[in-house]
Structure 1
Amino acid sequence: MEKKIKSIDDLMSIADLDPRHHTGEIIGSMTTSIHPRVFDVIAKFIEKNQNDHVLFPSLSVIEEELISETKRILGLSEDISGVITSGGTESNILALYAFKKTFSSRTVISLESAHQSISKAAALLELNIVKVKTNDDGYYNPDELQGILARYPNSVLVLTMGTTEIGRVDPITPIIDSIRKYHIHVHIDGAMGGFTYPFTNPKEFGKYVELVNEGLASFSTDYHKFPGAPIPSSVLFLNSMLEDKLKWNSHYMPAGYQKGLLGTRPGYSAAGALATLLLKGRDGLAYSAIRSYNLALETMNTLQSNWNLSIPRPDVPLLCVGLGEEELVSRAWSFLWSYGIKTYFCSKPPGLRIVFMPHIKKKHIDRFINKLLEFFEQGSREYHER
């Protein structure tokens, strides 16, 4: 194979192969633009290991401030511990590991709409996983789930705050009594919704916060998704008893231990995440979340009124635009990608996923809608007339 990258200039120019956020090309990914000033922060901490905070004391201060500021923004108690992670997958694995080691919980109850990393974590940790069915709108049957909780006391229940494909927040109110009655340990995967749902539905979000503050649940969310911090950066909140299980002896290091799955953890991630929160502030995050969610609902209403498409109403800024047959979905995806409109897939209903990240503007969505109309007019009249 011919070598394509022969110089630093070649390496830099190959980035031009990728679509860009600010042009609105990327509308299906849970990534977004980084604030320009954050790049200066990244450069300052690029060679420092977050897990070696004795050698790099600045990172200890940054970690403490980042966790404290996040708890303030989300309304979490100061008594809750936080662990910096690389993303939702690491957070989910660590949460299930902590529950297993602390309470000997060997069964994970997971909705079928949960992120695939839950199944991955269960496999790695050799946990029994019980999948709970959801309907076409992504909701579980409360009676069915309550029955499962009764059969598996002392198990771990995973709830998602913003499912990957349709943006559903798994309701907690119908099962809260069963959670307490059967000593269920709850992990809330808020990778996508952790920085949007608090602002678009603060009353409901408060119910999850209450469970976390009582020490009955862990909660994770990603800085590198909606806030727009550099990849990878995330956080897992849990009580101190659970956090202790996530420390591993490392006698050769000055601190004597490390936290999390990674031995070397990029210091720029935490620094970039804190910089992002400082630049945007709680008000800025709230504004972006509400604006993006309203744009998602407006888009849903437009698509449904024009074509009667199947689109589950989301709880976070994300739409699954149902198109019907998988073959039609595949052709629509290829058509849109050929015009630089990078959507993703969703399967229930079969369709195209749009994520309304902060860089997405109405003009970008209008272009998507116009091209989708063009696709229908060119070759899908049979579907369009249904």
Structure 2
Amino acid sequence: MQPLCRDHPQPQSFDRVLSSMCTRPHPDAVAAATEFLTTNPGDPMTYQSIAKIESKAVNLLADIVGEPTATGYITSGGTESNIQAVHAARNRSATKTPNIVAPESLHFSFNKAATVLNVELRTVPTDEDHRADLTAVENAVDEDTVLVVGVAGSTAYGRVDPIPELTDIAHRVDAVMHVDAAWGGFVLPFTDHAWSFAAGIDSLTIDPHKFGQATIPAGGLLVRDPSLLDELAIETPYLESPTQATLTGTRSGAGVAGALAAMEALWPHGYKETYERTMYLAERLETELSTRGFETVTPHLPLVAADIPRELFTALRSEGWRIATTADGTLRIVCMPHVTQSLCESFLSDLDRLRRAGNSA
């Protein structure tokens, strides 16, 4: 690939990326995204081919999450999906002082949603296992609560909240129950976690451009009842289609086509193999870090958290490792599909060398 000009940087390599929740897209996704790059799903009557592809993509997402009758649309990612979930729940309610209740492990997109939509955001503590504290949620909801959020694959620790219990709390106050499975949605079908529509939830975020291995941008918003999606409908008088439920208007068909191509190539066997391989890597990496004396958090999904000295973290970054920390400073490593055993071994080798050089307390 030639750069746009002599001084233009080359694309980021994934060779040392251990912090991202995105990954190399599947080759079929790249090809499909390129083919439909200039189509606009926001004008479905004009661009009918990409509209049909989006319908197929939503149907396949519904199969993946175990609710074949679910409906929705392909978003730009988890942020748009979560904002739209809050948007729909707010519009559904008659209260003039709406609030949403979410655990402190929530994604920052809910802070954006609360600000943009003028909705009070009530965050509650998590328990010792970094999952939503049910008592705290119960105490936070009231008659003005329009949405309760559960996280299925938290960005910090890869935890899955007690979704059935949160759903019960939400429905007791007539609130919508939303699950943010942006990262976890493509691995959770191969686990025993109760996380999706079978748990009684109303709406769900799931991102094909993360573990789904689609091209960016490609998120997904799914709802059980189409009437919830109808709460988002806006009239579009100059288009052939009368209304639009999306947050954006014009959208590139690249994300839509790439999402369908990746899912058709990988569901279910490819995703199952990826989950098993990355989960094995996460468990092995956690064991290796624990053996070296670092305090770790047992992985429930392919994400490793370990408490390492800041000096060592900084030294690893200076060696080119793309790593990150949680809000409390804990190292987090996400075992995405591009992460291999040799990559993990190389990381541990550099970690050991830098420790010997005195980059640790």
TM range (shorter): over 0.9
Is the CA contact (8 Å cut-off) linking 1:320 and 1:351 kept in structure 2?
Answer: yes
User: In the alignment, what sits opposite 1:275?
Assistant: 261
Q: What displacement does 1:314 show?
A: 3.0
Residue identity opposite 2:110 in structure 1: I
Q: What displacement does 1:10 show?
A: 4.3
**In the alignment, structure 1 residue 32 sits paired with structure 2 residue 17:** no
- Aligned counterpart in structure 2 of residue 89 of structure 1, from 79, 86, 105: 79
**In the alignment, structure 1 residue 198 sits paired with structure 2 residue 189:** yes
User: In the alignment, what sits opposite 1:137?
Assistant: 129
User: In the alignment, what sits opposite 1:208?
Assistant: 196
User: In the alignment, what sits opposite 2:112?
Assistant: 120
**In the alignment, structure 1 residue 98 sits paired with structure 2 residue 102:** no
Q: 1:9 to 1:192 in 2, by over 3 A?
A: closer
**TM-score, length-scaled by structure 2:** 0.92
SS of the equivalent of 2:102 reads: strand
Q: 1:25 to 1:19 in 2, by over 3 A?
A: farther
1:20-68 Cα distance to aligned partner (Å, 9 max, x none): 12xx311111111122233222221111111111111101110111111
- Aligned counterpart in structure 2 of residue 64 of structure 1, from 47, 51, 55: 55
More divergent stretch after superposition (124-133 vs 256-265): 256-265
Q: What displacement does 1:180 show?
A: 3.5
Root-mean-square deviation (Å): 2.0
More divergent stretch after superposition (109-118 vs 332-341): 332-341
Equivalence map 1:150-165=2 (5 Å): 151-152=142-143, 154-165=145-156
Distance of 1:49 and 1:136 partners within structure 2? 46
1:167-196 Cα distance to aligned partner (Å, 9 max, x none): 111122444443333323211011100111
**In the alignment, structure 1 residue 351 sits paired with structure 2 residue 330:** yes
1:225-252 Cα distance to aligned partner (Å, 9 max, x none): 0111010001101121111122211111
**In the alignment, structure 1 residue 335 sits paired with structure 2 residue 315:** yes
User: In the alignment, what sits opposite 2:13?
Assistant: 20
**In the alignment, structure 1 residue 244 sits paired with structure 2 residue 224:** no
Q: Which runs of 5+ in 1 are unaligned?
A: 1-7
Q: What displacement does 1:337 show?
A: 2.6
The structure with the greater share of residues assigned to helix is 1
SS of the equivalent of 1:92 reads: helix
1:263-318 Cα distance to aligned partner (Å, 9 max, x none): 111111110100101111211111101211121111111211221x2222233211
- Aligned counterpart in structure 2 of residue 373 of structure 1, from 320, 329, 352: 352
More divergent stretch after superposition (274-283 vs 35-44): 35-44
Q: Which runs of 5+ in 2 are unaligned?
A: none
- Indicate the percent of aligned positions where both proteins have the same amino acid: 28
Residue identity opposite 1:352 in structure 2: L
Distance of 1:57 and 1:114 partners within structure 2? 36
Residue identity opposite 2:197 in structure 1: V
Q: 1:72 to 1:175 in 2, by over 3 A?
A: closer
User: In the alignment, what sits opposite 1:298?
Assistant: 284
**TM-score, length-scaled by structure 1:** 0.87
**In the alignment, structure 1 residue 48 sits paired with structure 2 residue 39:** yes
Residue identity opposite 2:221 in structure 1: L
Is the CA contact (8 Å cut-off) linking 1:197 and 1:315 kept in structure 2?
Answer: no
Distance of 2:291 and 2:222 partners within structure 1? 41
Q: 1:294 to 1:84 in 2, by over 3 A?
A: same
Is the CA contact (8 Å cut-off) linking 2:59 and 2:68 kept in structure 1?
Answer: no
Q: 1:283 to 1:71 in 2, by over 3 A?
A: same
Q: What displacement does 1:372 show?
A: 1.4
Residue identity opposite 2:54 in structure 1: E
**In the alignment, structure 1 residue 286 sits paired with structure 2 residue 265:** no
Distance of 2:249 and 2:176 partners within structure 1? 27
Distance of 1:12 and 1:88 partners within structure 2? 35
Is the CA contact (8 Å cut-off) linking 1:153 and 1:183 kept in structure 2?
Answer: no
- Aligned counterpart in structure 1 of residue 210 of structure 2, from 220, 225, 235: 225
Is the CA contact (8 Å cut-off) linking 1:19 and 1:25 kept in structure 2?
Answer: no
Distance of 1:278 and 1:154 partners within structure 2? 38
Is the CA contact (8 Å cut-off) linking 2:29 and 2:260 kept in structure 1?
Answer: no
